Structure 1
Amino acid sequence: MRLKHAISLLFLLISPTLWANSPPPDDPLKSVQWVTMYNLFLNKHPVIFDNHVQIIAPDSAEDSMHVPVVVNVDGLNDIQEILIFADFNPLPKVLRFIPNNARPYIGFRLKLQQATPVRAAVLTSTGWHVGGIWVDATGGGCTLPSTGRTTGTWETTLGQIRGRLWAERTPARAKFQIMHPMDTGLAKGIPTFHLEKITLAQTDGKTALTLEPFEPISENPIFTVELTTPQTTMILNAIDTNGNEFKGELKQ
């Protein structure tokens, strides 16, 4: 009896989430990894699949190291963050996007190791709103070295920033590139090395948006975002996992 009581008590101590969280909703994409993704990233808030969260991506990736994705959210308020992840990637977490004073819209490219759902989860005061799409990929996107590593040129361009603003557009738009190898740590002999935080701010210091890229973001990443307050000049700051800091200006 003592042993049985001790085992029951231990189970309660190590498994509180089994009692605190509801089971995940059924996945419309029928991914066997959905429950794992839910437990890793989403189970602290209610989750619903929501057509207001739109993902645009190719049905089949021509280049597994540079798969274009656009996330656009319409009709949701009080957005706290947007988390993008790919179920079957060996490193599933792709990007966290906090649209402080920006529209919940972002375009970028990512690396895929195999066919996978790519999802965006939008956190609001009512919980996570999730959208997703299957993308077929031939594989290898996460385990191959970057082009810069292969050619040995990445150090000469590291941290260079290019970009532009379209303040007259409605909504205003910004597009920028930061040169960086974005190493996943899965290519033989190459450690993890990637951008980990990017902020875009107005000249008065007010933050327009914050990005937290993870390993699957493509080499020399390009981001396209939409802004709620038009500016003719904005300040871009970035830091990588080695503590390197990069700064630049975007102008109209």
Structure 2
Amino acid sequence: MPPLARHLPALLVLLGTNLPLYAAPQADPLHSVMWDVMHKTVLGDQPAVFDERVKVTLPQQVEDGQRVPVSVDASALGQVEEIVLFADYNPLPLALRFQPLRLQPVFAVAMRVNQATPIRAAARDAQGVWHVGGQLVDAPGGGCALPTPTRASTDWANLLGKMYGRVWREGATHRIRLRVMHPMDTGLVGNTPTFHLTQLRLSDSAGQPLARLSLDAPLAENPLFTFQLARLDGDNLRIDAQDSDGNAFGGRLPVLP
């Protein structure tokens, strides 16, 4: 046996403690042929693991692909820097990016899907690792490419940017519910260009930021958001939004006792 070969096991033991450890690639539990593409385009090819602690709740089957209710809860991870919501088989996969800041890493919203697809939420922890959860939804085709009822209304322009909602205490937390009136046009409907909300910011009554969201066209029209907050000081909540045409909207929600 060559001299180096005799000492190779010992060398490996000595060097092993300094070698980086790489986990074997995980198989996608939802068996999507688009997962590798989503990992690269949505998550930037950064480290990602499938994690049941990121809970995504939605109906197994829907009749209206224009409004699929989705709730996400990543609170079991502890500190979360950002959550992204996306659908693998949508022509426009990414629905939103949510930086919780002082909010809990929990939210609910409705989104459009263009066909049966995995809907996923990925939560990035403080070490930069994405923890991915998701569920399959069976939906009819075309949810992203159908004209919205809002466009059929003669007064939709007068409602543009109007905000409705409330903040109330529920047990040990405050719950925030907010609707922003907007058609959220995807640009996939003939003769209707892309026109959607792009930014949403929540601040307390003193102007201190609570959360930031980047929004995209796959959200359902007139999106309704639900958030949770452990503690909210002051008697109102400041909301600021912007859309893809540069329109800015703002308002305040009173905090109910």
* Bucket of the pairwise TM-score, normalised by the shorter protein: 0.7 to 0.9
Which of 167, 175, 187 pairs up with 1:185? Answer: 187
Aligned to 1:202: 204
The answer to whether the aligner puts 1:141 opposite 2:143 as a matched pair is yes
The answer to whether the aligner puts 1:235 opposite 2:238 as a matched pair is yes
**1:23, distance to aligned residue in structure 2 (A):** 8.3
Q: Please tell me whether the aligned partners of residues 24 and 38 of structure 1 are also in contact (alpha carbons under 8 angstroms).
A: no
**1:184, distance to aligned residue in structure 2 (A):** 0.2
The answer to whether the aligner puts 1:35 opposite 2:36 as a matched pair is yes
Q: Please tell me whether the aligned partners of residues 82 and 121 of structure 1 are also in contact (alpha carbons under 8 angstroms).
A: yes
Cα RMSD of the aligned pairs, angstroms, is 1.6
Residues in 1 aligned to 2:158 and 2:123: alpha-carbon distance in whole angstroms:
37
Are the structure 2 counterparts of residues 22 and 94 from structure 1 closer, same or farther at C-alpha, using a change threshold of 3 Å?
A: farther
Which stretch has the larger CA shift, 49-58 or 37-46? 37-46
Gaps of at least 5 residues in structure 1 are 1-20
Identity among equivalent pairs (%): 41
Q: Secondary structure at the residue paired with 1:37?
A: helix
Q: Please tell me whether the aligned partners of residues 148 and 221 of structure 2 are also in contact (alpha carbons under 8 angstroms).
A: yes
Which stretch has the larger CA shift, 105-114 or 152-161? 152-161
Q: Please show how residues 85-100 of structure 1 align to structure 2 within 5 Å.
A: 85-100=86-101
Q: Please tell me whether the aligned partners of residues 39 and 45 of structure 2 are also in contact (alpha carbons under 8 angstroms).
A: no
Total equivalences in the alignment? 232
Which stretch has the larger CA shift, 101-110 or 147-156? 147-156
Gaps of at least 5 residues in structure 2 are 1-21
Which of 135, 138, 160 pairs up with 2:162? Answer: 160
Residues in 2 aligned to 1:168 and 1:221: alpha-carbon distance in whole angstroms:
22
Bigger radius of gyration among the two: 2
Residues 118-141 of structure 1: per-residue CA shift (max 9 Å, x gap): 000001133000000000101211
Residues in 2 aligned to 1:160 and 1:185: alpha-carbon distance in whole angstroms:
22
Q: Secondary structure at the residue paired with 1:167?
A: strand
Aligned to 2:227: 225
Residues in 2 aligned to 1:210 and 1:169: alpha-carbon distance in whole angstroms:
24
Aligned AA (1:153):
D
Are the structure 2 counterparts of residues 22 and 242 from structure 1 closer, same or farther at C-alpha, using a change threshold of 3 Å?
A: farther
Aligned to 2:253: 250
Residues in 2 aligned to 1:186 and 1:211: alpha-carbon distance in whole angstroms:
23
Q: Secondary structure at the residue paired with 1:38?
A: helix
Residues in 1 aligned to 2:141 and 2:24: alpha-carbon distance in whole angstroms:
31
Are the structure 2 counterparts of residues 106 and 168 from structure 1 closer, same or farther at C-alpha, using a change threshold of 3 Å?
A: closer
Which stretch has the larger CA shift, 144-153 or 209-218? 144-153
Q: Secondary structure at the residue paired with 2:104?
A: strand
Aligned to 2:19: none
Q: Secondary structure at the residue paired with 2:36?
A: helix
Aligned to 1:7: none
**1:48, distance to aligned residue in structure 2 (A):** 0.6
Please give the TM-score of this superposition, normalised by the length of structure 2: 0.86
Q: Secondary structure at the residue paired with 2:139?
A: coil
Aligned AA (1:28):
P
**1:153, distance to aligned residue in structure 2 (A):** 2.9
Are the structure 2 counterparts of residues 89 and 162 from structure 1 closer, same or farther at C-alpha, using a change threshold of 3 Å?
A: same
Which stretch has the larger CA shift, 192-201 or 70-79? 70-79
Q: Which runs of 4+ in 1 moved over 4 A?
A: 21-24
Q: Secondary structure at the residue paired with 2:113?
A: coil
**1:230, distance to aligned residue in structure 2 (A):** 2.2
